[in-house]
Structure 1
Amino acid sequence: MNELLINLNDTYSKYIQIYHFIRSLIEDGQLEENTALPSIRQLAKQLGVSRNTTLTAYEQLLAEGYIRSEPKKGYYVEPVEESITGVDRKVSSAELHIPDHPRPLIDFRIGSVDGQAFPLQKWRKCTNTIMLQPYIYTYGHYQGEPELRMQIAQYLLQSRGIRTSMDQLIIGSGTQQLLLHLSILLKINGYDSLAVEDPGYDGARTLFHMQGLQTEPVQVTSRGIDISELKRCKSRIAYVTPSHQFPTGAVLPAAERYQLLKWAEERQGYIIEDDYDSEFRYRHQPIPALASLQQGAQVIYLGTFSKGFLPSIRLSYMILPPVLMEQYARMFTFVEQSASVIHQQTMAYFMKQGYWSSHVRKMRAIYRRKMQVLVNALQESFGKQIRIIGSHSGLYILVELQQSGHENELIRQALHHGVQVYPTSRYYSLLKVDRKPTIQLGFSNLTIEQIGVGVQLLKEAWGRV
């Protein structure tokens, strides 16, 4: 193809208009599979824009799998998979416009994934294969399906450096369900309290309290959990998120990691390592897990498919040290597995076919781009009025406003302008009166243009606070 006739205007960023125009042509079938696209230089010249503009549009299409790049040849259209929603995803010019009233609701929530990039056809193909198998008519193994545990063990060795066997792995219907079983084990072994990060994951803290376990808050610094403060705690169990501290995004350095392992050994306790989104680091390779640093370490490891794949399939996993695993086998042999056998077997087959690894690589590129767009838009709109926290990994960032005010007022003003944002105060165990208002923004399920619109609306909302 020599030309793409695109009518650009000044209502929105030009690279977004180019991106949407080409994406729409591909989704509508007007640009067929293997069609050659104009080069970056040709398209820039045709449209009268900079090469960076067309390059950015192509990079987004490339990241989302709409086109492919062939060295020394150019860009070509890729076959388009069906949307997870099964509806047309074309965005009209009216949707790109920001109306005065009523305003669109842009939801910066966390805990969701990019539905547009979900590999629906591959997942359906794997599911159809599994549905022909006789084991779908049974309850399944109490630890989880052996096929999935074997695939997870292989994946953790390659991606996180963890040497484990399928016999030490337990599958559950979500991290909280696994923590529920773990809490029962800990109480039986005489543990009545845990040290938790402050701020930290409120879902885990609430569950521990429901099980009658006390929690000791430990301050989080820019380097992660404060080891010196942890040593002053009475607890012999610590629940931590060392590779991407929730919610600050801090990464615990190697020296502190070894101190943490030593602390658990000296206390004759355990570290609960929640490695909830280790796949999504954008500047460096994933950091080795605590569970990989020392053979026989007193580490209970937690991972999930909710962030990297799909939260609705409810699949998480846990590695228990041998002593706890023996106790788990005695106690939970007769407790039915809560995770779907069909989903477990489908995920195992999905991983065996190599689809999981390629999906993670694709999503890492998509989320990296979204993170860049969000951070750049916030910096351009607010400058030194804000401080952005945690912009190198994960599926969300924190925005600390350098002004007086309260999170609730900022959230109310944002919602009045059509944007849903979220507080961070709930992640703190202890009230900090001198803390600046800090807002959490997730971006995983937002499109590039929704991110841009959302930041523009936040600028309008918070400019009046």
Structure 2
Amino acid sequence: MLTIDRQSGQKVYQQLYAQIRAEIETGVRRPGALMPSTRFLAQRLSVSRNTVDHAYAELVAEGYLTSKPASGYHVTHHLPFVVTPPASPIVQTTPFPYDFTDQLDHMQLFPTQAWQAAELRVLQQGIPHIQPLGGDCIYREQLVNYLARLKHLHVTADQIIVTSGFNEAANIIAHLVPEFQTTSLGVAEPIAPNAREVWKTLGIPTQLFQTLDERPEAGGYVLNPTHNFPDGFGLDPHARQRFAQHLKAEKRYPGLFTSVFGT
């Protein structure tokens, strides 16, 4: 039975939250059971409806309750941080101490719902520190030295944008330089398939070329890094310097991504 102690120093919604959570964990409220409506519970306990809403929201965020439109709140069928054991015991058929075969699925032990509830709780509370749009400042300062030493590219940290992959970088470039939709991009081969195909999804035409002497007239150029698909072949420092000189003579300059050169 839910009760409110108005003499305690604990907030009312916290008391309500703790009691409902305890009832769920001890089995008083069974999985799938319908919870009292917020209006009914507020009237019964003589508290505001917002107080009940707050307690229910905390329980939903932590995975104890589920909420669906027009159906109210229900007790979850899978409690957070509770791992359901396998239906049948796993028979060890190998003499090796660790089983790396596909017969043992350890992913079933991962508390997915608890992870999602914790993620939702963090997002609701707000993230205290968000990286700058261009990426971590210290990391970009380190990239300045790396690019100068190994790529012979001389840039400042403000000219570097750190992305989560080539596709994100391509999307940023497409928005920053919309002229590429009419001037096209020259794409050096060989190169990873996604580095070639992603431009089509962004509405940017491409022209393929094998060597710098065969490069087409284009608004920008995508070159394969030395670590890239399929054989690790890439431009040596002298070839990169020669290419940069051609760009400078044509009033075009390196930009944005370590392997992308544009106008």
TM-score by length of structure 1 reads 0.26
Greater gyration radius: 2
Q: Normalized per residue, which structure has more strand? A: 1
Greater length-normalized contact order (CA 8 Å, ≥ 6 residues apart): 1
Structure 2 length normalisation: TM-score? 0.44
